[in-house]
Structure 1
Amino acid sequence: MDRALEFMGNHPFLFGILAVLAVLFFTIENKRSGKKISPNTLGMMVNSQNAQLIDIRPKKKFETGFIQGSRNIPFTELTNRLEEIRAIEAPIIIVCDMGVQAGAAVQLIGKDNVYRLDGGIGGWQAAGMPLVGAKDVQSAKKTKPSLHK
Protein backbone atom coordinates (compact mmCIF):
# COMPACT_ATOMS: atom_id res chain seq x y z
CA MET A 1 0.00 0.00 0.00
CA ASP A 2 2.87 2.36 0.80
CA ARG A 3 4.37 1.72 -2.64
CA ALA A 4 1.08 2.63 -4.33
CA LEU A 5 0.90 5.89 -2.43
CA GLU A 6 4.56 6.55 -3.25
CA PHE A 7 3.85 5.91 -6.94
CA MET A 8 0.90 8.35 -6.88
CA GLY A 9 3.08 10.96 -5.19
CA ASN A 10 5.89 10.54 -7.71
CA HIS A 11 3.60 10.41 -10.80
CA PRO A 12 0.61 12.70 -10.16
CA PHE A 13 0.11 13.38 -13.87
CA LEU A 14 -0.21 9.67 -14.76
CA PHE A 15 -2.51 9.04 -11.82
CA GLY A 16 -4.66 12.04 -12.78
CA ILE A 17 -5.03 10.77 -16.34
CA LEU A 18 -6.01 7.33 -15.04
CA ALA A 19 -8.66 8.84 -12.76
CA VAL A 20 -10.11 11.00 -15.55
CA LEU A 21 -10.27 8.04 -17.94
CA ALA A 22 -12.00 5.89 -15.33
CA VAL A 23 -14.62 8.56 -14.65
CA LEU A 24 -15.21 9.12 -18.38
CA PHE A 25 -15.55 5.40 -19.03
CA PHE A 26 -18.22 4.91 -16.37
CA THR A 27 -20.06 8.09 -17.35
CA ILE A 28 -20.19 7.20 -21.03
CA GLU A 29 -21.08 3.58 -20.35
CA ASN A 30 -23.94 4.59 -18.04
CA LYS A 31 -25.29 7.10 -20.57
CA ARG A 32 -24.94 4.67 -23.47
CA SER A 33 -26.84 1.86 -21.84
CA GLY A 34 -29.91 3.91 -20.88
CA LYS A 35 -32.18 3.58 -17.88
CA LYS A 36 -32.90 -0.06 -17.01
CA ILE A 37 -36.11 -1.47 -15.62
CA SER A 38 -36.71 -4.95 -14.22
CA PRO A 39 -39.31 -7.38 -15.60
CA ASN A 40 -41.54 -6.72 -12.56
CA THR A 41 -41.32 -2.96 -13.06
CA LEU A 42 -42.24 -3.42 -16.72
CA GLY A 43 -45.58 -4.95 -15.75
CA MET A 44 -46.32 -2.16 -13.29
CA MET A 45 -45.44 0.53 -15.84
CA VAL A 46 -47.66 -1.04 -18.50
CA ASN A 47 -50.59 -1.28 -16.10
CA SER A 48 -50.25 2.09 -14.34
CA GLN A 49 -48.70 4.35 -17.00
CA ASN A 50 -49.76 2.61 -20.23
CA ALA A 51 -46.08 2.09 -21.15
CA GLN A 52 -45.50 1.06 -24.76
CA LEU A 53 -43.28 -1.95 -25.50
CA ILE A 54 -41.09 -1.90 -28.60
CA ASP A 55 -39.22 -5.10 -29.43
CA ILE A 56 -36.22 -4.29 -31.64
CA ARG A 57 -35.26 -7.88 -32.44
CA PRO A 58 -35.44 -9.07 -36.06
CA LYS A 59 -38.92 -10.12 -37.20
CA LYS A 60 -38.06 -13.85 -37.24
CA LYS A 61 -36.91 -13.78 -33.61
CA PHE A 62 -39.91 -11.68 -32.61
CA GLU A 63 -42.28 -14.24 -34.13
CA THR A 64 -40.76 -17.07 -32.06
CA GLY A 65 -41.93 -15.38 -28.86
CA PHE A 66 -42.53 -11.88 -27.53
CA ILE A 67 -43.89 -10.05 -24.50
CA GLN A 68 -47.64 -9.59 -24.73
CA GLY A 69 -48.55 -6.13 -26.00
CA SER A 70 -45.20 -5.40 -27.63
CA ARG A 71 -44.80 -4.34 -31.22
CA ASN A 72 -41.88 -5.18 -33.44
CA ILE A 73 -39.72 -2.44 -34.91
CA PRO A 74 -36.42 -4.14 -35.84
CA PHE A 75 -33.29 -2.21 -34.87
CA THR A 76 -32.38 -1.89 -38.56
CA GLU A 77 -35.63 0.08 -39.16
CA LEU A 78 -35.40 2.22 -36.04
CA THR A 79 -33.80 5.27 -37.66
CA ASN A 80 -36.57 5.39 -40.29
CA ARG A 81 -39.27 5.41 -37.60
CA LEU A 82 -37.75 7.77 -35.02
CA GLU A 83 -40.43 10.46 -35.44
CA GLU A 84 -43.18 7.87 -34.90
CA ILE A 85 -41.49 6.63 -31.72
CA ARG A 86 -40.67 10.10 -30.39
CA ALA A 87 -44.34 11.09 -30.82
CA ILE A 88 -45.40 8.51 -28.22
CA GLU A 89 -46.33 10.36 -25.02
CA ALA A 90 -46.40 7.34 -22.68
CA PRO A 91 -43.19 5.77 -21.34
CA ILE A 92 -41.46 3.53 -23.89
CA ILE A 93 -39.71 0.29 -22.97
CA ILE A 94 -37.24 -1.10 -25.50
CA VAL A 95 -36.77 -4.88 -25.59
CA CYS A 96 -33.99 -6.84 -27.28
CA ASP A 97 -32.30 -10.23 -26.77
CA MET A 98 -30.06 -9.40 -23.79
CA GLY A 99 -30.56 -5.70 -23.10
CA VAL A 100 -27.39 -4.50 -24.83
CA GLN A 101 -28.78 -3.40 -28.20
CA ALA A 102 -31.71 -1.76 -26.41
CA GLY A 103 -29.22 0.59 -24.75
CA ALA A 104 -28.13 1.82 -28.17
CA ALA A 105 -31.78 2.24 -29.18
CA VAL A 106 -32.54 4.27 -26.04
CA GLN A 107 -29.65 6.58 -26.88
CA LEU A 108 -30.79 6.87 -30.51
CA ILE A 109 -34.34 7.80 -29.54
CA GLY A 110 -33.06 10.38 -27.06
CA LYS A 111 -36.14 10.95 -24.90
CA ASP A 112 -36.30 11.05 -21.09
CA ASN A 113 -39.12 8.53 -20.76
CA VAL A 114 -37.45 5.72 -22.75
CA TYR A 115 -36.19 2.68 -20.84
CA ARG A 116 -34.62 -0.67 -21.65
CA LEU A 117 -35.64 -4.00 -20.22
CA ASP A 118 -32.80 -5.23 -18.01
CA GLY A 119 -31.54 -8.49 -19.49
CA GLY A 120 -33.86 -8.28 -22.51
CA ILE A 121 -36.00 -11.27 -23.43
CA GLY A 122 -33.47 -13.53 -21.69
CA GLY A 123 -33.92 -11.61 -18.43
CA TRP A 124 -37.70 -11.67 -18.87
CA GLN A 125 -37.72 -15.45 -19.24
CA ALA A 126 -35.21 -15.91 -16.40
CA ALA A 127 -37.66 -14.06 -14.14
CA GLY A 128 -40.27 -16.69 -15.05
CA MET A 129 -42.35 -14.37 -17.21
CA PRO A 130 -44.24 -15.76 -20.21
CA LEU A 131 -43.82 -15.06 -23.90
CA VAL A 132 -46.55 -15.23 -26.50
CA GLY A 133 -46.10 -15.95 -30.17
CA ALA A 134 -46.58 -18.34 -33.05
CA LYS A 135 -45.11 -21.37 -31.25
CA ASP A 136 -47.40 -20.83 -28.24
CA VAL A 137 -50.48 -20.72 -30.46
CA GLN A 138 -49.48 -23.89 -32.31
CA SER A 139 -48.65 -25.80 -29.13
CA ALA A 140 -51.94 -24.69 -27.55
CA LYS A 141 -53.84 -26.11 -30.52
CA LYS A 142 -51.99 -29.43 -30.25
CA THR A 143 -52.55 -29.81 -26.51
CA LYS A 144 -56.12 -28.52 -26.47
CA PRO A 145 -58.34 -31.25 -25.02
CA SER A 146 -60.94 -32.68 -27.32
CA LEU A 147 -64.57 -32.36 -26.32
CA HIS A 148 -65.56 -35.36 -28.43
CA LYS A 149 -64.45 -38.84 -27.45
Structure 2
Amino acid sequence: MVDFLSQNWYLVLMALGSGLMLLWPSLSGKGAGVSTAEAVRLINREKGVLLDVSEAAEYAAAHAAGSRHLPLGQIEAGAKALPSNKTLPLIVVCPTGARAGRAAQQLQKLGFEKAVVLAGGLNAWREANLPIEKS
Protein backbone atom coordinates (compact mmCIF):
# COMPACT_ATOMS: atom_id res chain seq x y z
CA MET A 1 0.00 0.00 0.00
CA VAL A 2 2.78 2.45 0.91
CA ASP A 3 4.62 1.54 -2.28
CA PHE A 4 1.52 2.23 -4.35
CA LEU A 5 0.99 5.64 -2.69
CA SER A 6 4.62 6.66 -3.09
CA GLN A 7 4.78 5.54 -6.72
CA ASN A 8 1.41 7.09 -7.63
CA TRP A 9 1.41 10.24 -5.50
CA TYR A 10 0.07 12.28 -8.39
CA LEU A 11 -3.05 10.08 -8.58
CA VAL A 12 -3.66 10.56 -4.86
CA LEU A 13 -3.16 14.30 -5.24
CA MET A 14 -5.61 14.43 -8.17
CA ALA A 15 -8.21 12.45 -6.22
CA LEU A 16 -7.91 14.79 -3.23
CA GLY A 17 -8.07 17.86 -5.46
CA SER A 18 -11.19 16.69 -7.27
CA GLY A 19 -12.84 15.83 -3.96
CA LEU A 20 -12.11 19.31 -2.62
CA MET A 21 -13.49 20.92 -5.78
CA LEU A 22 -16.72 18.95 -5.35
CA LEU A 23 -17.02 20.00 -1.71
CA TRP A 24 -16.02 23.65 -2.22
CA PRO A 25 -19.55 25.04 -2.77
CA SER A 26 -20.76 23.42 0.45
CA LEU A 27 -17.74 24.52 2.44
CA SER A 28 -17.74 28.11 1.20
CA GLY A 29 -21.48 28.63 1.51
CA LYS A 30 -21.61 29.83 -2.10
CA GLY A 31 -23.40 27.84 -4.70
CA ALA A 32 -26.15 27.11 -2.23
CA GLY A 33 -29.47 28.42 -3.32
CA VAL A 34 -33.04 27.55 -3.97
CA SER A 35 -34.52 26.80 -7.36
CA THR A 36 -37.25 28.94 -8.84
CA ALA A 37 -39.79 26.22 -8.01
CA GLU A 38 -38.65 26.18 -4.37
CA ALA A 39 -38.74 30.00 -4.28
CA VAL A 40 -42.34 30.02 -5.51
CA ARG A 41 -43.22 27.38 -2.90
CA LEU A 42 -41.65 29.49 -0.14
CA ILE A 43 -43.56 32.57 -1.33
CA ASN A 44 -46.91 30.79 -1.63
CA ARG A 45 -46.83 28.44 1.36
CA GLU A 46 -44.56 30.13 3.89
CA LYS A 47 -45.23 33.80 3.05
CA GLY A 48 -41.67 34.20 1.79
CA VAL A 49 -40.51 37.63 0.71
CA LEU A 50 -38.66 38.16 -2.57
CA LEU A 51 -35.91 40.72 -1.99
CA ASP A 52 -34.05 42.18 -4.98
CA VAL A 53 -30.58 43.52 -4.11
CA SER A 54 -29.84 44.94 -7.58
CA GLU A 55 -28.79 48.52 -8.13
CA ALA A 56 -31.60 51.01 -8.86
CA ALA A 57 -31.05 51.05 -12.65
CA GLU A 58 -31.00 47.25 -12.85
CA TYR A 59 -34.15 47.00 -10.75
CA ALA A 60 -35.91 49.59 -12.92
CA ALA A 61 -34.96 47.71 -16.09
CA ALA A 62 -36.39 44.39 -14.88
CA HIS A 63 -37.23 42.67 -11.62
CA ALA A 64 -39.28 39.74 -10.41
CA ALA A 65 -42.92 40.66 -9.98
CA GLY A 66 -43.77 41.49 -6.39
CA SER A 67 -40.17 41.77 -5.23
CA ARG A 68 -39.04 44.39 -2.75
CA HIS A 69 -36.02 46.48 -3.70
CA LEU A 70 -33.09 46.97 -1.35
CA PRO A 71 -29.66 47.48 -2.98
CA LEU A 72 -26.83 45.42 -1.52
CA GLY A 73 -25.03 48.47 -0.14
CA GLN A 74 -28.09 49.55 1.82
CA ILE A 75 -28.94 46.32 3.63
CA GLU A 76 -27.59 47.47 6.98
CA ALA A 77 -29.74 50.64 6.90
CA GLY A 78 -32.73 49.27 4.96
CA ALA A 79 -35.04 48.25 7.78
CA LYS A 80 -38.10 49.68 5.99
CA ALA A 81 -37.75 47.29 3.04
CA LEU A 82 -37.13 44.28 5.28
CA PRO A 83 -40.00 42.39 6.89
CA SER A 84 -40.42 42.96 10.61
CA ASN A 85 -40.94 39.21 11.12
CA LYS A 86 -37.43 37.76 10.93
CA THR A 87 -38.74 34.18 10.80
CA LEU A 88 -40.18 34.61 7.29
CA PRO A 89 -38.13 33.17 4.44
CA LEU A 90 -36.28 35.82 2.44
CA ILE A 91 -35.49 34.84 -1.13
CA VAL A 92 -32.66 37.12 -2.22
CA VAL A 93 -32.29 37.84 -5.93
CA CYS A 94 -30.05 39.87 -8.22
CA PRO A 95 -29.46 39.57 -11.99
CA THR A 96 -27.05 36.62 -11.76
CA GLY A 97 -27.09 35.54 -8.11
CA ALA A 98 -23.55 36.75 -7.31
CA ARG A 99 -24.50 39.73 -5.11
CA ALA A 100 -27.41 37.84 -3.63
CA GLY A 101 -25.00 35.45 -1.89
CA ARG A 102 -23.28 38.31 -0.08
CA ALA A 103 -26.63 39.88 0.75
CA ALA A 104 -27.99 36.63 2.19
CA GLN A 105 -24.95 36.36 4.46
CA GLN A 106 -25.48 39.94 5.68
CA LEU A 107 -29.17 39.27 6.28
CA GLN A 108 -28.41 36.13 8.25
CA LYS A 109 -26.09 38.18 10.48
CA LEU A 110 -28.98 40.61 11.01
CA GLY A 111 -31.15 37.74 12.28
CA PHE A 112 -32.93 36.63 9.10
CA GLU A 113 -31.99 32.97 9.48
CA LYS A 114 -34.10 31.88 6.51
CA ALA A 115 -32.41 34.19 4.00
CA VAL A 116 -31.63 32.14 0.89
CA VAL A 117 -30.34 32.92 -2.58
CA LEU A 118 -32.36 32.34 -5.72
CA ALA A 119 -29.99 30.08 -7.68
CA GLY A 120 -29.29 31.65 -11.06
CA GLY A 121 -30.78 34.99 -10.06
CA LEU A 122 -33.21 36.93 -12.20
CA ASN A 123 -31.95 35.06 -15.26
CA ALA A 124 -33.28 31.78 -13.78
CA TRP A 125 -36.55 33.52 -12.84
CA ARG A 126 -36.92 34.71 -16.44
CA GLU A 127 -36.02 31.26 -17.87
CA ALA A 128 -38.72 29.68 -15.68
CA ASN A 129 -41.25 32.03 -17.36
CA LEU A 130 -42.12 33.67 -14.06
CA PRO A 131 -43.48 37.24 -14.15
CA ILE A 132 -41.09 40.15 -14.67
CA GLU A 133 -41.91 43.81 -14.08
CA LYS A 134 -40.27 47.06 -15.13
CA SER A 135 -40.48 50.33 -13.24
> What letter corresponds to residue 117 of structure 1 in structure 2?
L
Partner of residue 121, structure 1: 122
Q: Between the two proteins, what is the percent identity of the paired residues?
A: 19
User: 1:62 is matched with which residue?
Assistant: 59
Instruction: Give the Cα–Cα distance (whole angstroms) in 2 for the partners of residues 26 and 32 of structure 1.
Output: 13
Could you say which residue in structure 1 is the equivalent of 2:113?
112
**Residue in 1 that maps onto 2:100:** 102
For residue 89 of structure 1, report the CA deviation from its aligned partner.
2.1
Equivalent residues of 1:67, 1:132 under 8 A apart: yes
The Cα of 1:109 is off from its aligned counterpart by 2.1
Structure 1 alignment gaps of length 5 or more:
135-149
Contact kept, 8 Å, 1:66 with 1:132, in 2: the verdict is: yes
Larger helix share, 1 or 2: 1
Match of 1:29 in 2: 25
Distance 1:75 1:59, change over 3 A: same
Judging changes above 3 Å, is the alpha-carbon distance between structure 1 residues 121 and 48 closer, same or farther for their aligned structure 2 residues? same
Matches within 5 A, 1:64-103: 64-81=61-78, 84=82, 88-103=86-101
Q: Which runs of 5 or more residues in structure 2 are unaligned?
A: none
Higher-Rg member (1/2): 1
Task: Give the alignment's TM-score, normalised by structure 2.
Answer: 0.73
TM (normalized to structure 1)?
A: 0.67
Q: Offset of 1:46 from its aligned partner?
A: 0.8
